[in-house]
């Protein structure tokens, strides 16, 4: 396994730990001898538009690594990839050749083109990644629905079905309920526990494990909910060092542990 593949398989694709029953929802064709916790890999895929531009070449390297090691993975697509035929053609080809490995979801980030095509005014603030610009929480309620409707409609037009998984570092509870009720989304990935990073805070929720989100406030669990939307956390955070100072970032994301001068031995310890 080369260095790039190690980076992919340890966090640059944002992995989260999961329980057996969640894994079975997403990958029903795969059976296990016991019900130990498993891992779901979620790759956030951005296209050629502004706002952290991605490339088709990087996507191909990620897909090839997962196919090589036969590891099922989700690829959460931002809107600019959905309207790029090169991405669509490649993903359809890979799904056909590796249907048990390549699974698709949606990355819900508002870009200028998504706002325009949804008929809403884009919050053109700087930097683009702040919550009021890129996430649904920065937009009026009716505009949030327009954005979601157009995004889900575009996905279905391209692939013939609605995704079961969505991803966004931050999202409002009403939008999550809307995705779950109207489009059958089963799980949503939010970011880790953090204080003020990228302009928003998630603090006090379950730090690692998936949980059934409350319909009143998705960032706390409701174990009595009969038909919950499952909330997944982006990256694994250190239960000790990730707390205290507001700038702490001890997680499984490579730029976090590399910047702290750590390597893979950190996880073994």
Query: Distance (Å, rounded) from C-alpha 56 to C-alpha 62?
Result: 10
- Model-level pTM greater than 0.75? yes
Beta bridge partners of 131: none
How does pLDDT run across 175-200, given as a tens digit for each residue? 999 999 999 999 999 988 777 777 78
For residue 15, pLDDT over 60 is answered with: no
In the chain, what are the domains?
Answer: 3-268 (3.20.20)
Q: What is the per-residue pLDDT across 76-91, written as a single tens digit (0 to 9) for each?
A: 999 999 999 999 999 9
pLDDT in tens, 94-135: 999 999 999 999 999 999 999 999 999 999 999 999 999 999
Question: In terms of pLDDT, which residue wins out, 252 or 23?
Answer: 252
Long-range contacts of 25-29 (CB under 8 A, 24+ apart): 25/164, 25/186, 25/187, 26/72, 26/74, 26/103, 26/164, 26/165, 26/186, 26/187, 27/72, 27/100, 27/103, 29/100
Q: In what order do the strands lie in the sheet with 38-45?
A: 15-18, 38-45, 73-77, 102-107, 165-167, 187-190, 229-233, 211-213
pLDDT at 10: 37
Pairing of the two strands 187-190 and 165-167: parallel
Structure tokens belonging to residue 138: 């920065």
Q: Look at residue 22 and tell me whether its pLDDT is greater than 80.
A: no
Which pLDDT score is estimated for 58? 95
């Amino acid at each position: 396994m080369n260095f790039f593949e190690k980076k992919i398989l340890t966090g640059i694709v944002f992995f989260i730990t999961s329980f057996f029953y969640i894994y079975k929802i997403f990958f029903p064709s795969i059976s296990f001898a016991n019900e130990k916790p498993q891992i779901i890999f979620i790759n956030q895929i951005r296209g050629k538009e502004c706002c952290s531009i991605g490339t088709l070449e990087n996507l191909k390297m990620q897909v090839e690594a997962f196919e090589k090691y036969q590891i099922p993975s989700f690829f959460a697509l931002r809107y600019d990839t959905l309207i790029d035929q090169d991405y669509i053609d490649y993903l359809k080809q890979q799904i056909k050749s590796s249907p048990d490995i390549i699974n698709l979801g949606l990355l819900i980030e508002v870009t200028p083109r998504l706002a325009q095509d949804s008929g809403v005014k884009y919050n053109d603030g700087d930097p683009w990644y702040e919550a009021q610009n890129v996430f649904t929480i920065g937009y009026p309620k009716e505009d949030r629905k327009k954005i979601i409707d157009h995004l889900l409609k575009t996905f279905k037009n391209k692939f013939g079905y609605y995704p079961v998984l969505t991803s966004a570092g931050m999202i409002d509870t009403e939008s999550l309920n809307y995705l779950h009720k109207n489009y059958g989304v089963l799980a949503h990935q939010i970011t880790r526990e953090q204080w003020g990073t990228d302009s928003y805070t998630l603090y006090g929720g379950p730090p690692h494990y998936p949980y059934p989100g409350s319909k009143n406030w998705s960032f706390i669990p409701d174990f009595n909910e009969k038909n919950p939307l499952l909330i997944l956390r982006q990256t694994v955070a250190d239960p000790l060092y990730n707390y205290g100072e507001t700038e702490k970032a001890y997680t499984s994301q490579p730029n976090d542990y590399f910047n702290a001068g750590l390597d893979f031995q950190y996880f073994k310890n």
